[in-house]
Amino acid sequence: MFFVISGFVIARVALQQDCRTFVFLRISRIYPIYWFYLGLTVGFFKFWQSHTFSTAELLPAILLVPSSSAPIVPVAWSLIYEVYFYAVVSLFIAARIELRSAYLAWAIITATIWIFDSSAFLGSVNTLEFIAGGLLSFFAGGWTDSKLLKLNCPRWIEALGDASYSIYLCHFLLIATLGRLLFSAGLTGWIITAVLSLVMANFAGLASYHWLEKPILRFARIVRNRWA
């Protein structure tokens, strides 16, 4: 569902932006705060496990490209797909290809690769979900917009939604650190660990959003306006 929603949103955005703007906004949205948490994660492994990552592990992690090793930041696996999606869509925009036709062709190519090798990165079901979200946006965007406008979410849900990327990035580190601290204090019950992890991950994500992510995005808008 995550990739379907992402595909829906990106398809709408792609119709409204030129290639340079699209690429700049996607890079500034994904990478800076991710690099911050990547650095914290590298430090976490160094401090708690005396583990140092090799250049072969760090470079793909920094660039968010596929690698034979597991991502250093566990949730980065989904970001690797997102970066791939953005790269393909940016090529469509740059080439001025009609997006609905491009998405349909992309779906056929991806499905064909999946049929012959379901483990291939380029033939992933995740990509098909992203494409499905985009096609939904193209063919039923007006209808879905009218339904979404009728939704009235409580303010706290909107706040968590705004901070969702920060929460997504920080929760692994927070839960891992909290688990170690609770274990050291002799508090090993899963209920207290789960409750504290849930509460603290959301609060940490909200703090990260307001004090780190928003300033980064604000600065990116300034740079973009001067660049335009």
pLDDT in tens, the chain (228 residues): 789 989 998 998 898 899 999 999 999 999 999 999 999 999 988 887 888 899 999 999 999 999 988 899 999 999 999 999 999 999 999 999 999 999 999 999 999 999 999 889 999 999 999 999 999 888 876 555 555 545 577 888 888 888 999 999 998 888 887 877 777 766 666 777 788 888 988 999 999 999 999 999 999 988 888 876
Decide which of 96, 124, 151 is a domain's last residue: 151
Instruction: Report the alpha-carbon distance of residue 90 to residue 106 in Å, rounded.
Output: 13
107 shares its domain with 204: no
- pLDDT at 129 (0 to 100): 95
Same domain flag for 137 and 180: no
103 plus 216 within the same structural domain: no
pLDDT of residue 144: 55
Are 31 and 135 in a shared domain? Answer: yes
Q: Give how many domains the chain has, as a whole number.
A: 2
Out of 107, 134, 151, a domain closes at 151
Examine the domain organization and report whether 141 and 161 are in the same domain. Answer: no
145 and 157 part of one domain: no
Q: Quote the pLDDT of residue 155.
A: 84
Same domain, 7 and 58: yes
Q: Are residues 116 and 164 in the same domain?
A: no
Q: What is the pLDDT of residue 145?
A: 56
Domain boundary among 151, 182, 200: 151
Instruction: State residue 211's pLDDT score.
Output: 95
Q: Are residues 25 and 57 in the same domain?
A: yes
What is the span of the domain harbouring residue 66? 1-151
Supply the pLDDT for residue 49: 81
pTM (whole model) above 0.75: yes
Residues 83 and 14 reside in one and the same domain: yes
Same domain for 179 and 169, yes or no, is yes
pLDDT of residue 157: 83
